[in-house]
A and B are shown apart, each in its own frame.
Chain A
Amino acid sequence: MTFEEYVAARLPALLRQATVLAGDPHVAEDVVQDVLIKAQPKWARICELDAPDAYLRKMIVNELLSARRRVAAALRRERAQWPAPARNDVDVIVLREAILQVIRTLPVRQRLVIALRFYEDMSDADIAALLDCTEGTVRSQASRALAKLREMAATQPVLEDK
């Protein structure tokens, strides 16, 4: 498969995956473009690995973890506004939006861990291999992220009381 064929077939899926991992469609577009530009010159070798999706996912993760992107993500977190408690009817959409707000403002590693666990259904061992860390680190990052989600739920009494 040539680079052009791969991009034609897989770019939409790469963008969806990157949006989940980045928590932001604009960052995702930026990262995917950078990753493809880096991958193109060595595409022949990447194809030989039989898992170009996995290779590019690793490149996307590394790009998101780069110092430059971490600074940008921190600035976004500082600007982010926590959602006001919803006073509408309790429904799935409201809860989902509230969860999304938390996901978008999580530190990069915490978001990556829960995105890979819940969206990609990856095991903690696979996540650890992908992020170059131990399974214990994966579990602690996931625990912190879930704690923030629970904290968000606790600050939304309207949802529960209604």
Chain B
Amino acid sequence: MIDADAIRSAFAALADEAPPPERIHASLAVRARRHRQRRLVLRLAGAGTVAAATGVAAAGVWRFTRPPESRFPVLHAGPGGGWLEVPLRFRPTWLPRGYGEGQRGVVVEGTQAPVVSRGWQTGDMSQGISLMVGWHSSLDPDRPNGPLTTIDVNGVPGELVQVGDQALGTFLTWQPPGQPQLLISVHTDDGADAQQHLAVRVARSVRPDPGVTSVGPRFGWLPLDLAAAPWRLAHGFAGTDWVQDVRVSGTGGRQLIISMGTSAEMRLANTFTSEPVRIRDWSGWQVPAMRQLFLTLPDGVEVSAQLVDGPGDEQVMPTLIRIIEEFEFGPWPDMSWIGGR
């Protein structure tokens, strides 16, 4: 005889088969460590946080011709170009074996781009080296502080700082005559001496680069607290998907993040408290509790937008919807540089 008590008893026995939590604790701890390292690199490089790598299968082929430890996807995102062309100016001519370019970032203020950054990383994204050309006052809170060591970089005095709160990072700043400030940052699993050696060697290899990168997206309308602020454009990848982030921080602490790309991570993860929304000719979902919008554009590109922090009032979602309504996505970026040196 099967009754409700027998079924409850069976479910209780099933619950007793639950796995121990230790493996997930360990996995989350490793992930958090990598995330902290990466976030530090990206924040200092002026680039936004790109979605973490996922195992989601999507368009793209792996470049097997590279050594096994430097596999990066070949991405066909778009034609590139845009309303603003930004000179890359410099690049390192030496990097450790296995590193490939994984991120590019630009700080945009009005019609100028005072900062451009590039990040190179290992194939598993756990270690990174970045070069930032130029500086902007909006980055001041992220400027590394600590005891300075003076280092010669091709005849120019440089300042080296090592920061080791969560994960050790090494930062080397110098400014060649008549050129913008250059900053090399190193986040690897090495110790302080090895990181310093790496930073100095990469810095001394830096040479002019005639290449350019482009800014495709542009805001049509922003609320007052965000309209006057500089904003950051970041290009990167997650797994085999390309990602383009735009983020702007307002004077009141509010931050707007718009992410575009082919990553399934950007699709609506669940339907709890979500509501359908229509913007221009696109159907999507809004999650007022999370101040989020999710759209799938006709060409399959996923868009997510979120207003983080700041006052939470009933105007948040109409504001976010209007920002997206008037946002110009521009041509999708050329991502053929992913995995290059």
Chain A positions within 8 Å of B, measured between CB atoms, are 7, 11-12, 15-20, 23, 25-26, 28-29, 32-33, 36-38, 40, 42, 45-46, 48-49, 54-55, 58-59, 62, 92, 95-96, 99-100, 103, 114-115, 118-119, 132, 149-150, 152-153, 160
Which of B25-33, B112-120, B162-170, B177-185 makes up part of the contact surface? B25-33
- Judge whether B21 and A118 touch: CB under 8 Å: no
Chain B interface size, as a band, is 35 or more
Could you say which of A15, A18, A132 has the most chain B C-beta atoms within 10 Å of its C-beta?
A: A15
B190 to A: closest C-beta gap in Å: 27
Q: In the docked arrangement, what's the CA distance between A16 and B23, Å? A: 15
A40 to B: closest C-beta gap in Å: 8
User: Hey, which chain A residues are within 8 Å of B4, CB to CB?
Assistant: 118
A96 in contact with B13 given A7-B28, A16-B18, A118-B8 (CB within 8 Å): yes
Could you say which of B4, B9, B52 has the most chain A C-beta atoms within 10 Å of its C-beta?
A: B9
**B233-292 interface (Cβ within 8 A of A):** 265, 269-273, 289-292
User: Hey, which chain B residues are within 8 Å of A7, CB to CB?
Assistant: 24-25, 28
- Judge whether B9 and A11 touch: CB under 8 Å: no
Decide if B224 is an interface residue (CB 8 Å cutoff): no
- Judge whether A49 and B289 touch: CB under 8 Å: yes
User: Hey, which chain A residues are within 8 Å of B14, CB to CB?
Assistant: 19-20, 23, 100, 103
Residue on B nearest A29 in the bound complex, by CB: B19
- Judge whether B17 and A19 touch: CB under 8 Å: yes
- Judge whether A96 and B15 touch: CB under 8 Å: no
User: Hey, which chain B residues are within 8 Å of A149, CB to CB?
Assistant: 2, 7
- Judge whether B2 and A59 touch: CB under 8 Å: no
- Judge whether B8 and A15 touch: CB under 8 Å: no
B12 to A: closest C-beta gap in Å: 7
Q: In the docked arrangement, what's the CA distance between A46 and B287, Å? A: 11
Q: Which of A28, A99, A132 contacts B2 (CB 8 A)?
A: A99
- Judge whether A33 and B24 touch: CB under 8 Å: yes
B24 to A: closest C-beta gap in Å: 5
- Judge whether A115 and B11 touch: CB under 8 Å: yes
- Judge whether A99 and B7 touch: CB under 8 Å: yes
B interface majority secondary structure: helix
B5 to A: closest C-beta gap in Å: 9
User: Hey, which chain A residues are within 8 Å of B292, CB to CB?
Assistant: 42
- Judge whether B28 and A36 touch: CB under 8 Å: yes
Residue on B nearest A8 in the bound complex, by CB: B25
- Judge whether B270 and A62 touch: CB under 8 Å: yes
- Judge whether A11 and B21 touch: CB under 8 Å: yes
Residue on A nearest B56 in the bound complex, by CB: A68
- Judge whether B10 and A99 touch: CB under 8 Å: yes
- Judge whether B10 and A29 touch: CB under 8 Å: no
**B28-44 interface (Cβ within 8 A of A):** 28, 31
Q: In the docked arrangement, what's the CA distance between A38 and B290, Å? A: 13
Decide if B212 is an interface residue (CB 8 Å cutoff): no
- Judge whether B291 and A59 touch: CB under 8 Å: no
A64 to B: closest C-beta gap in Å: 11
Q: In the docked arrangement, what's the CA distance between A161 and B135, Å? A: 84
User: Hey, which chain B residues are within 8 Å of A11, CB to CB?
Assistant: 21, 24-25
Q: In the docked arrangement, what's the CA distance between A51 and B240, Å? A: 35
18 CB contacts below 8 A, A to B, read: A7-B24, A7-B28, A15-B18, A19-B14, A19-B19, A20-B14, A37-B31, A40-B28, A45-B289, A59-B269, A92-B9, A96-B10, A99-B7, A103-B11, A103-B14, A114-B7, A115-B11, A119-B15
- Judge whether A132 and B31 touch: CB under 8 Å: no
- Judge whether B12 and A132 touch: CB under 8 Å: no
Could you say which of B17, B31, B271, B290 has the most chain A C-beta atoms within 10 Å of its C-beta?
A: B17
Q: In the docked arrangement, what's the CA distance between A160 and B1, Å? A: 8
- Judge whether B21 and A12 touch: CB under 8 Å: yes
User: Hey, which chain B residues are within 8 Å of A152, CB to CB?
Assistant: 2
- Judge whether A25 and B10 touch: CB under 8 Å: no
In the complex, the 8 A-B pairs of residues with the closest C-beta atoms, listed nearest first = A99-B10, A119-B11, A19-B18, A11-B21, A16-B15, A15-B18, A58-B272, A16-B18
- Judge whether A26 and B24 touch: CB under 8 Å: no
User: Hey, which chain B residues are within 8 Å of A23, CB to CB?
Assistant: 14
- Judge whether B24 and A58 touch: CB under 8 Å: no
Could you say which of B4, B9, B23, B272 has the most chain A C-beta atoms within 10 Å of its C-beta?
A: B272
Q: In the docked arrangement, what's the CA distance between A58 and B4, Å? A: 24
User: Hey, which chain B residues are within 8 Å of A114, CB to CB?
Assistant: 7
> Given known contacts A16-B16, A99-B2, A119-B15, what 8 new A-B pairs fall within 8 Å (CB)?
A16-B18, A19-B17, A28-B18, A29-B23, A32-B24, A49-B289, A55-B272, A119-B12
- Judge whether B291 and A45 touch: CB under 8 Å: yes
Q: In the docked arrangement, what's the CA distance between A45 and B316, Å? A: 14
User: Hey, which chain B residues are within 8 Å of A54, CB to CB?
Assistant: 272
